[in-house]
Amino acid sequence: MLKHLHIENYALIRHLDIDFESGFSVMTGETGAGKTIILGALALMLGARADSKAISDGEERCIIEATFDDRIIRRELYSNGKSRSFVDDGLVTLQELKALSNRLIDIHSQHANLLIENADFQLDIIDAIARNEQQQAAYAAQYEKYTAAAEELQRLQSLAKKSRQDADYIQYRYKLLDEAALQDGELETLEAEQYQLSHAEEIRTALQTAIETLNGEQGSALDALRACRLDEAAPALQERLDSARIELQDIAEEAERMLHRVELDPERLAWTEERISQLEELIRKFNAENISELIAMRDELAEQVNRLDSFDFDIEQAEKQLAAERTALQQAAAVLTNSRQAVLSPICQRLISGLQQLGVAHAKVELPLHPTPDFTPRGCDEVELLFAANLNQSLRAVSEVASGGEISRLMLCVKALIASTKGLPTIIFDEIDTGVSGEIATQMATIMRQMAQHRQIIAITHLPQIAAQGEHHYKVYKADTQTHTETHICRLSDQERITEVATMLSGRTPSPEAIANAKQLLCSH
């Protein structure tokens, strides 16, 4: 229940604080007094789109704060266009705010009457009365699986089509790399070998020279080291000489082995150079950095080639999966449809009863449920509210035959029907009485008063018949200061209510007869 509303610097409202009561409250005021402004501020607090133009002239921010039974919601709007939302002083996202506010309050604006013509809203009515949240959730979950399976099948089919179109090119590229027998690090190894083969004579000469110098038959370095003995004079130096001799001996032996390996092999050199050229050509052709990248490309192409053969199997499996998900979705849709079918007759009967109470004596209402051509996110049902207000009038779409006053009455009946099941603690009606007057207005007020036995109802109205039935009466008015005009709201006393209702009956200065009529209206409830 909405208990308190605080507004600062919103349009014509500089500062407003008002307490609200449970039960049936009415809000009145002259056209332009600011009722719509208050409603706009409340909608902003509940998550409506923010517009910095709504901030009062000369102010940097506006604040709207509403206190409910167990929640305090606040929205702050700044002149730079930014806004912040709070629940119990904790910062929340706009989505979180909307999710919470939808469970706390329902604002039925004047434009909301047009919803009665909307097929989705008509389905909402059925679902609200059917209380089929579980069936809707089960269908939605299965619908998600079904759409995912359909998307996977489509993906495979598109990929298969493209792959088959590219099959020759893929297989050609794969064959080039596969036949190349690539080995990681091969190019570096070949380049080293190619250097040795192309410089074999120079390498052999250098090795031979080193061997002769180190271990030749005449005056070699090793012979000189062997002849040098410092055991007694300098044992430490002798030890180092021995180490050097051993190392040089090892170098000489390794050089001997290398000399035997280095050969003049023109055929091997030619093959090495050809292989290097082949690998470098592949690197350029495939725009790779090295052999490792070529190997990765080869492996990826191999997967694509293998996939060409497996697409038919994958598609067949995907088709089976889609068929299974479709069967499960059909079952979930049937359960959802049955839940809706079960409440169609009671809904129509209650709407007809409500309309008759509101003066549409010969009202007829039907809600035929038809299957949709395909699955939709909400099931396989489409509905069109059919209406007739007069004898011998055929049922037709409500948008085609209902007058503005009839739509207002029908919408009130719908709201009363939904309120009995949805459990919203607060409903605000913004001039739902459009197009009606007299006794019909009285009956509309009676319905709202009945609704208020289980929830808070606030009705913004221009009709005295409705204003008189409110348990609590609030008046919206404008007042001028030296610099600007401000909107205010106040709760009327019993005497003030008489004057307000009389003014609504007869004009700005109510006559004695109007005051007497107002007293009679107020006393009759």
pLDDT of residue 240: 83
pLDDT of residue 155: 92
What whole-number distance in Å separates Cα of residue 235 and Cα of residue 373?
Answer: 105
pLDDT of residue 387: 93
pLDDT mean across residues, the chain: 88
CB 15 within 8 A of CB 46: no
Virtual CA dihedral for 234, 237, 239, 242, nearest 10 degrees? Answer: -120
CB 380 within 8 A of CB 371: yes
**261 pLDDT above the threshold of 80:** no
> Averaged over 286-313, what is the pLDDT?
85
pLDDT of residue 265: 67
Domains and CATH numbers, the chain: 1-104+424-492 (3.40.50.300), 167-310 (no CATH), 495-525 (no CATH)
CB 205 within 8 A of CB 225: no
Q: How confident is the model at residue 61 (pLDDT cuts 50, 70, 90)?
A: very high
With CA atoms as reference, report the closest residue to 38 among 495, 475, 515: 475
The per-residue DSSP string of 281-325 comes to HHHHHTT-SSHHHHHHHHHHHHHHHHHHHHHHHHHHHHHHHHHHH
Q: Are strands 426-430 and 105-108 parallel, antiparallel or unpaired?
A: parallel
Q: How confident is the model at residue 172 (pLDDT cuts 50, 70, 90)?
A: confident
Place of tokens 């006559």: 511
Question: Which of 106-115, 206-215, 390-399 shows the lowest mean pLDDT across its residues?
Answer: 206-215
Q: Which long-range contacts (CB under 8 A, 24 or more apart) does 234-241 make?
A: none
**197 pLDDT above the threshold of 80:** no
What whole-number distance in Å separates Cα of residue 433 and Cα of residue 412?
Answer: 9
N residues, the chain: 525
What whole-number distance in Å separates Cα of residue 59 and Cα of residue 38?
Answer: 18
Digit-coded pLDDT (tens) for 200-226: 677 767 767 777 777 766 667 776 777
Q: How confident is the model at residue 468 (pLDDT cuts 50, 70, 90)?
A: very high
pLDDT of residue 237: 79
**484 pLDDT above the threshold of 90:** no
